[in-house]
């Protein structure tokens, strides 16, 4: 099957970090060559897509040479070593201007990296530049910024979505294989969906927000944008400060506490709630509670057909625990 490419495609379109990492370690390509490929793709495509707002070739190539030197010395920092990566322009970088998409911060250069950027550097990645953000990351379209609008690589007449507009466009077009984004109310998920990349909003506080422009501190998240699910996982592991290695044997997909292998199989050692029993329950509320309780206790629904096997305890949210209630702050009290 031939791979459908966007109208504007660069060197890294569709390429996997795992494949590129293997080539780096085999010596068939260097970090300098990958970084130069990214710079060439940016030079060719960015005038159309406006995904990058700040790029410094000498800075990026210096990082690439350092990564190659570490390889030559036998030092391997993990799969991201030597990989070009883009950073959204609401995340601080000490060596690149960070405008947060606003004229108020035009030409502003932070003194320190954001902690998430520091972790990416420590993993050996090459920060190639900053990508366009909707001003202060406050918008889902990606067309309101000091630097204008990012454009969708599949059709430059269309929006990318936002606010991680440039990061999604940069990865979708193949200018870079990975990018950092932020998500408060959809700012990774919306552009990832509109541009056809992989991106997700991690669990709260799994990635530190130090050095990230605050929009809503209880909702802000930093997360990955990538070409492939496994690439997104590898970048997330680095952002979260965990060990980062390709999965030799990927774990089975889970939906909540149910594994994909259990779908369509009868429950083992657990009772099954049949349709006749279900219809004899006195009210819709009773039916709902019975179904919920049966599943949480390890049972299944249906007369042995299409049932769901329960193979792990059901998680319980604190707000739904027995004897507990979600508490709302009193008027005037700060939200936490």
Would you call 88 a catalytic residue per the annotation?
A: yes
Domain that holds residue 74: 17-239
Question: In this structure, are residues 235 and 229 in contact, taking their beta carbons and an 8 Å threshold?
Answer: no
What pLDDT does 9 receive?
87
Give the pLDDT score at 304.
42
Give residue 182's pLDDT: 98
Structurally, the chain folds into a number of domains equal to: 2
Give yes or no: 218 in active site.
no
Give catalytic status of residue 41 as yes or no.
Answer: no
- Specify if 169 maps to a domain: yes
**For position 289, what pLDDT does the model report?**
57
pLDDT per residue, tens digit, the chain (336 aa), is 345 677 778 999 999 999 999 999 999 999 999 999 999 999 999 999 999 999 999 999 999 999 999 999 999 999 999 999 999 999 999 999 999 999 999 999 999 999 999 999 999 999 999 999 999 999 999 999 999 999 999 999 999 999 999 999 999 999 999 999 999 999 999 999 999 999 999 999 999 999 999 999 899 999 999 999 999 999 999 999 986 666 555 565 555 545 555 444 444 444 455 555 555 556 665 555 555 555 555 554 454 443 333 334 444 444 444 443 333 344 444 444
- Rounded Cα–Cα distance for residues 50 and 165 (Å): 9
Is residue 333 in some structural domain?
no
**123 shares its domain with 44:** yes
List 31, 41, 164, 187, catalytic entry: 187
* CA nearest neighbour of 187 among 142, 240, 152, 227: 142
57 with 127, same domain: the answer is yes
Largest distance between two CA atoms of the chain: 74
In a domain, 284, yes or no: yes
Is 6 among the domain residues?
A: no
Q: What φ, ψ does residue 17 adopt, rounded to 5°?
A: -60, -40
Tokens, residue 336: 């936490």
- Residues 217, 141: one domain? yes
pTM value is 0.73
| Residue 328 domain flag | no
Inter-helix orientation angle 229-239/17-26, to 10°: 80
Say which of 31, 41, 145, 163 is annotated catalytic: 163
Decide if 246 is inside a domain.
Answer: no
Q: Both 32 and 172 in a single domain? A: yes
Return the pLDDT at 6: 78
Which residue of the set 88, 130, 145, 262 is catalytic? 88
């Amino acid at each position: 099957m031939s791979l459908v490419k966007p109208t504007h495609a660069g060197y890294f379109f569709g390429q996997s970090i795992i494949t590129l990492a293997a080539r780096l370690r085999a010596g068939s390509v260097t970090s300098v060559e990958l970084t130069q490929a990214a710079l060439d793709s940016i030079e060719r495509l960015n005038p159309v897509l406006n995904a990058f707002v700040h790029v410094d070739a000498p800075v990026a190539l210096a990082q690439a040479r350092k990564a190659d030197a570490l390889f030559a010395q036998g030092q391997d920092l993990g799969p991201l070593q030597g990989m070009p990566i883009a950073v959204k322009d609401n995340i601080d970088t000490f060596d690149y201007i960070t405008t947060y998409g606003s004229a108020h911060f035009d030409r502003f250069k932070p003194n320190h990296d954001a902690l998430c950027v520091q972790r990416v550097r420590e993993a050996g990645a090459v920060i190639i530049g900053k990508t366009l953000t909707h001003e202060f990351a406050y918008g889902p379209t990606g067309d309101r910024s000091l630097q204008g609008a990012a454009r969708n690589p599949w059709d430059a007449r269309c929006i990318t979505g936002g606010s991680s507009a440039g990061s999604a466009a940069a990865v979708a077009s193949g200018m870079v294989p990975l990018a950092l984004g932020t998500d408060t109310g959809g700012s990774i998920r919306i552009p990832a969906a509109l541009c056809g990349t992989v991106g997700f909003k991690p669990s709260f506080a799994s990635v530190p927000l130090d050095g990230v422009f605050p929009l809503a501190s209880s909702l802000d998240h930093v997360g990955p944008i990538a070409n492939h699910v496994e690439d997104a996982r590898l970048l997330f592991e680095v952002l979260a400060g965990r060990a980062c290695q390709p999965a030799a044997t990927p774990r089975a997909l889970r939906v909540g506490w149910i594994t994909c292998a259990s779908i369509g199989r009868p429950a083992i050692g657990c009772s099954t709630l049949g349709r006749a029993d279900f219809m004899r329950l006195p009210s819709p509320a009773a039916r709902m509670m019975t179904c919920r309780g049966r599943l949480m206790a390890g049972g299944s629904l249906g007369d042995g057909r299409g049932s769901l096997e329960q193979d792990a305890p059901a998680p319980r949210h604190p707000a739904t625990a027995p004897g507990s209630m979600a508490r709302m702050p009193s008027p005037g009290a700060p939200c936490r």
